[in-house]
C-alpha cells in the first residue's frame, strides 16, 4: 500500500542566485552560482551526488533539450542526469525526481537544479512557444494571452460571488503591494520597490481588471537543492533539518474546457492537488497549521483565488481575508509571498519552484533576516503552469524533521 513520502527525505542544502536581468551571465554561470551556494551549505562533495535532475522550460531560448548542460557545466562525475519540463512546475518536477529517487532507496544523495535565462529573448513576458505548445496550440487559440485568460478568471470570480469591481481591484492591489513590501527586504529579489495599494489601482490597465502592477514579469535565475535520506542526514550529524512532508501534482483532464461544471472562477487542479497534499502531510486544518506559503502569483487574481483553492480561505471570502491582512507578513495568519513571490523575486520558469523552497529552507533555519517568521511549522509552495482552463499544478509541503 502506498504511504507517500512524508519524512522520508531531508533537504540538507540549498542555493539560489539573485534573480533579475542578468545580462552579465549565461544560464551556465547561473547554474554554477546556485550550485556553489548549495554545495557549501550542504557540506558534501561533488562525488557524493549520485544522481541529478535539471528543470528548465523553454529550451529554445535556454540550455537546449537534453540534461547534458547540467552535467558538463557542473562537471558532475558521470552520474545519471535527467531534464524535466512541465511548464511553470519544471523546477518542482526536478525536485520531485530527486526526492522520489532518494525515497525509493535507489540513491542516498541527489541534486535538483532549476534554471531559466529569459531576458535575452527580448520579450517583456514569455516568448512565443511556437505553433503548437501541446494542447495550447496557437492554431486553436489564436487570441489567448496570459493577461486575457487570467482577467477572465477575475471576472468569473467576481460574478460568482457578486463582488463589486472596486472591491476586487482593491484586494488584488493589496495582494501585489504586500509582495512588494516583502521583496524590498530581499537582496536577491528582482524588484525591490515598495508601492501602495493606490499605486497598483492607478496603474495602466493590461486586461481589465488587471493593471500593470497586477502582473508579474520574467527573470533570469537559478535555484538548487540537495536531498538525502533521513538516516543519511542523521549520520552526517545534521540537526534541525527539514523534511519533505508532501509532494503532489495535478494536471487538467480537459474537463474545464469541455464540460459545463467548471464556471471559470477557480482552478480545479489546485483544489484537488491541495487536498491530496494535506492528506499526505497529515494536515487536518490548513488555515491553522500552515505557517507560510509561496504561491504562483503570475497575476494578483491567481494568488487571491488560490487562497480558496488551498482551502485556507472559504469560497468567496478571500477578498475579505486579504483586506483583513490575513496573508500579510506582519500580523497575518498565514503569511504569503514572504520573499516577494513571482511578482517581485521574479519568475525564471525552471527555477521558480526551487526558489520557493529556498525561502522555506531559509525560514526554517532562521536565516531570512528581516523577513523571518517566528517558529514556522509547515511551509507550502505552489506552482501553476498554463492557463485557467488547462494547467498543471504542483504543491510541496515541508517542515522540520520530528522523531
Query: What ranges make up the beta strands (E) of 56-145?
Result: 81-84, 109-117
Q: How far is CA 372 from CA 243, 358, 361, in A?
A: 19, 13, 11
C-alpha cell, 193? 520597490
β-strands 242-251, 9-16 pairing: antiparallel
Residue among 38, 57, 88, 215 flagged as catalytic: 88
- Residue 58, Cβ neighbours under 10 Å: how many? 23
Q: How far is CA 262 from CA 92, 134, 155, 292, 362, in A?
A: 27, 22, 14, 29, 38
Active site residue 88: yes
Active site residue 347: yes
Bridge partners, residue 9, by sequence: 229
Measured CA angle at 17 (ends 304, 365), to 5 deg: 70
- Residue 172, Cβ neighbours under 10 Å: how many? 27
Helix 146-161 to helix 165-183 angle (10° resolution) is 130
Stated as kind and residue range, the H or E segment containing 53 is strand 51-55
Give the number of C-alpha atoms closer than 13 A to the C-alpha of residue 41, restricted to the C-beta side. 22
> CA 187 from chain center: how many Å?
19
Residue among 174, 347, 382, 393 flagged as catalytic: 347
Measured CA angle at 219 (ends 73, 340), to 5 deg: 115
241 Cβ contact partners less than 8 Å away, ≥ 6 residues apart? 10, 11, 12, 233, 400, 401
Residues with a known catalytic role: 88, 347
Amino acid at each position: 500500500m502506498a504511504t507517500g513520502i512524508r519524512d522520508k527525505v531531508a533537504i540538507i542544502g540549498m542555493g539560489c542566485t539573485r534573480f533579475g536581468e542578468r545580462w552579465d551571465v549565461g544560464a551556465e554561470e547561473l547554474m554554477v552560482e546556485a550550485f556553489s551556494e548549495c554545495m557549501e551549505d550542504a557540506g558534501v562533495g561533488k562525488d557524493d551526488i549520485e544522481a541529478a535532475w535539471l528543470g528548465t522550460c523553454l529550451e529554445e531560448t535556454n540550455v537546449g533539450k537534453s540534461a547534458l548542460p547540467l552535467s558538463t557545466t557542473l562537471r558532475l562525475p558521470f552520474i545519471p542526469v535527467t531534464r524535466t519540463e512541465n511548464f511553470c512546475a519544471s523546477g518542482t518536477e526536478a525536485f520531485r525526481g530527486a526526492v522520489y529517487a532518494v525515497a525509493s532507496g535507489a540513491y542516498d544523495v541527489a541534486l535538483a537544479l532549476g534554471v531559466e535565462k529569459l531576458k535575452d529573448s527580448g520579450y517583456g513576458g514569455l516568448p512565443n512557444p511556437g505553433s503548437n505548445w501541446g494542447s495550447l496550440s496557437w492554431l486553436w487559440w489564436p487570441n489567448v494571452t496570459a493577461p486575457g485568460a487570467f482577467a477572465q478568471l477575475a471576472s468569473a470570480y467576481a460574478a460568482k460571488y457578486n463582488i463589486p469591481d472596486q472591491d476586487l481591484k482593491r484586494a488584488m492591489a493589496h495582494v501585489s503591494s504586500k509582495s512588494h513590501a516583502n521583496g524590498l527586504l530581499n537582496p536577491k529579489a528582482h524588484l525591490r520597490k515598495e508601492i501602495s495599494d493606490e499605486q497598483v489601482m492607478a496603474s495602466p490597465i493590461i486586461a481589465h481588471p488587471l493593471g500593470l502592477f497586477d502582473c508579474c514579469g520574467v527573470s533570469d535565475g537559478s535555484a538548487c537543492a540537495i536531498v538525502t535520506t533521513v538516516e543519511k542526514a542523521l549520520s552526517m550529524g545534521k540537526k534541525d533539518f527539514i523534511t519533505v512532508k508532501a509532494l503532489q501534482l495535478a494536471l487538467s483532464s480537459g474537463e474545464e474546457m469541455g464540460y459545463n461544471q467548471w464556471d471559470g472562477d477557480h482552478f480545479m487542479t489546485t483544489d484537488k492537488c491541495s487536498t491530496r497534499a494535506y492528506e499526505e502531510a497529515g494536515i487536518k486544518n490548513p488555515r491553522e497549521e500552515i505557517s507560510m506559503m509561496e504561491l504562483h502569483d503570475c497575476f494578483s487574481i491567481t494568488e487571491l483565488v488560490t487562497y480558496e483553492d488551498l482551502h485556507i480561505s472559504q469560497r468567496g471570502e478571500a477578498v475579505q481575508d486579504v483586506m483583513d491582512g490575513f496573508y500579510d507578513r506582519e500580523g497575518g495568519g498565514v503569511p504569503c509571498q514572504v520573499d516577494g513571490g513571482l511578482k517581485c523575486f521574479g519568475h525564471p520558469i525552471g527555477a521558480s519552484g526551487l526558489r520557493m523552497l529556498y525561502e522555506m529552507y531559509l525560514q526554517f533555519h532562521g536565516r531570512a533576516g528581516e523577513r523571518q517568521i517566528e517558529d514556522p511549522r509547515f511551509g507550502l509552495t505552489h506552482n501553476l503552469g498554463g492557463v485557467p482552463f488547462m494547467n498543471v499544478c504542483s504543491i510541496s509541503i515541508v517542515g522540520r524533521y520530528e522523531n
